[in-house]
Amino acid sequence: MIAKPHIIERFVRYVTVDTESDPNSTTTPSSENQWDLANALVQELKDIGMSEVTIDDNAYVMATLPSNVDHHVPTIGFISHFDTSPDFTGANVRPRVIENYDGKDILLNKEENIVLSPKEFDDLLLYVGNTLIVTDGTTLLGADDKAGITEIISAMEYLINHPEIKHGPIKVGFTPDEEIGRGAHKFDVAKFGADWAYTMDGSQIGELEFENFNAAGAKVTINGKMVHPGYAKGKMVNSMYIAQEFIQSLPSEETPEKTDGRQGFYHLHHLTGDVEQTQLHYIIRDHDRERFEQRKAHMRQVAEALNNELGSTRITVEINDQYFNMREKIEPMMHIVDLAKEAMEAAGITPIIKPIRGGTDGSQLSFMGLPCPNIFAGGHNFHGRYEYVPVESMIKATEVIVNIARMAAQAKH
């Protein structure tokens, strides 16, 4: 189907462009360098023959592949993001291609003795004999989500070059700032004009996801009182000690490192403090909406109980919802999940249907009126030096996109 060298060349070209997003910025995109890849994608979409190629003032890229059939077919979209995570540097990415992986340790960086090993990452053994693209151990790779972009553009190019494959209208969209939770914030669903879409943003080959966490962020502020320590008895209030009590009042078994599947959690990810004031930053996650609301309420109840013990309001809790479980929006349209499942099976892939322990642009887009399940893009170990992607997985993901387009045109609607 798609030539392996062509996929490799395209992917390597994308990942060597630094597109790290910036959570401290208030602009869209959050970093100027995201424009570099966004503008390059616009030109490439035009070069392969896509129609209605646009880029707006916030770097959202959209394009259309017109229908080549004379009957009605729903308009299907495919979406990926071009920013990379600020959790680990994406500057000066030096990808390396490893042919016919032998299942042994991969020395990423001899000078720093950085090794990608199946002893630590046993999923590597799924790809013995495959061609892997890895980092040099000093940066992330950027398969999240430049693998998705590679697959979408390669699939569109293939359909354009093979007009004998019948398909309805197809929309593609590439977004900034997904990694900092803003990828869908300024996405123009009406302009995109799809009946439904798929984000190509999953991991392992075969992943198909239509449910994700309900998510909120919480900032807990504890105010103390500083007094000279030599004369502090009965006067000093140490905010860090109160913070310790707050942390210990939340369920110790309900943290990310002790939960999996559909189990929710409280995650303390940042702490700053001194005697006068301490701030705790949490994320709250749960697949079940009722339990999600209970978690938020419990955090407020803990603060209230401690304030009562202290005899004053020293703890305040600010909670902001971030996104919700897209399952409630997709379940009424389960045929779009079934279509993706059938497209995978037609490509010889066993679908792995499981909940996302996180969120995607698709979760927000689903609540904006664009139902949007998530399909594998093929990469592993995102957001760090051990990230890698099997080229064969990207080829299969490209084939799945083509199959969805072809099978949708054959279906009765």
3-class SS of residue 64: strand
20 in active site:
no
Contact 7, 150 (CB under 8 A): yes
Environment class of 261 (CB within 10 Å of its CB; exposed 0-12, middle 13-18, buried 19+) = exposed
Kindly state the tokens that stand for 402.
């083509």
Question: Are 21 and 85 within 8 A, CB to CB?
Answer: yes
Q: Which element (helix H / strand E) includes 170?
A: strand 170-175
Q: Which of 173, 175, 157 is nearest to 165 (CA)?
A: 157
20, 22, 44, 83: which one is catalytic? 83
57 is catalytic: no
Q: Which of 405, 359, 369 is closest to 187 using CA atoms? A: 369
Rg (CA), the chain: 24
CB atoms within 10 A of CB 44: 21
Give the separation between CA 393 and CA 379, rounded to whole angstroms. 8
Question: Which stretches of 203-264 are assigned E, i.e. beta strand?
Answer: 207-209, 214-223
- In 179-314 the beta strands, taken as DSSP E runs, fall at 196-202, 207-209, 214-223, 265-273, 277-286
Query: Residue 168 corresponds to which tokens in the numbers above?
Result: 């309805």
Q: 178, 209, 254, 361: which is the annotated catalytic residue?
A: 178
| Token pair 């799945």 in the structure block, residue | 400
Tokens of 6: 């062509």
- Residue 20 CA from chain centroid, whole number: 14
> Pairing mode, if any, of strands 207-209 and 352-353?
parallel
DSSP-derived pairing of the beta strands 374-376 and 214-223: unpaired
Nearest CA among 239, 204, 190, 229 for reference residue 350: 204
- Strand pairing of 196-202 and 76-81? parallel
Q: How far apart are CA 354 and CA 33, in angstroms?
A: 34
Q: Distance between CA atoms of 5 and 80, rounded to whole angstroms?
A: 22
Q: Known catalytic residues?
A: 83, 178
